Chains A and B, each alone.
Chain A
């Protein structure tokens, strides 16, 4: 139920994001989801790709500081209150969300959202108990 997320350290200067996507593109890696968290000085690029191991390797070889983190991909009903319901489940289980971001793609009736939490197993358990669908890594990579 875990999805591998690639995180890349970026300084806030122009062209760096383009450089990352170029390296991925040249190696035939597709980006499934992407988000940037930034401060005044630096940013952290978070990526879900079709081949996390290859992405980790080629970015590292290109000189970036990269890390791999486990996250979960959750199907959120594409209707008002859909996300709120998922958040309520996690809040009830006392699970802190570090951050979340949405997928570019979606399934027929639902949006896909990436959750980064400290207590992964507890989060998965709580969500599944409430019938929330969580995608397996393979499902996400091959979207």
Chain B
């Protein structure tokens, strides 16, 4: 058993919590696990990447380019930015959302046109409108959990396992909305 998952997004989108949920899977399944995120600038809307590695024994905390079994992207441009990390045959799940960086807002450069087409055609990305599902679950900030739900479904993780992993990682106060979000992602019709 070895799974390397790269979670990418924009500061504030909850990549760290998503990685904690996958870390919970290691607890449930009895694997070794390493999570790695660069904090610091994360709060300030920068690009954020979190590495999740599950295996019987994990050495490096960092996934190599071309080594990710899965990429979970909470934003389209960030999906493109880190796409080179995807292993051949790996899966990519992308939240259908565009968040303009300042470099685009100030007109210095343009947001990549056809981002979705590149992602689906070149990387076989599964696109999901996670934001409305998150909002319907009661909190727009649960986009991360919605995506985790879909990831679990697509990779054959039992619902009871991912739900247990969620319970291990989320504050009790936020558990109910997150459970709804997880279910919504797991059951999402594309």
The answer to whether A and B come from one shared complex is no
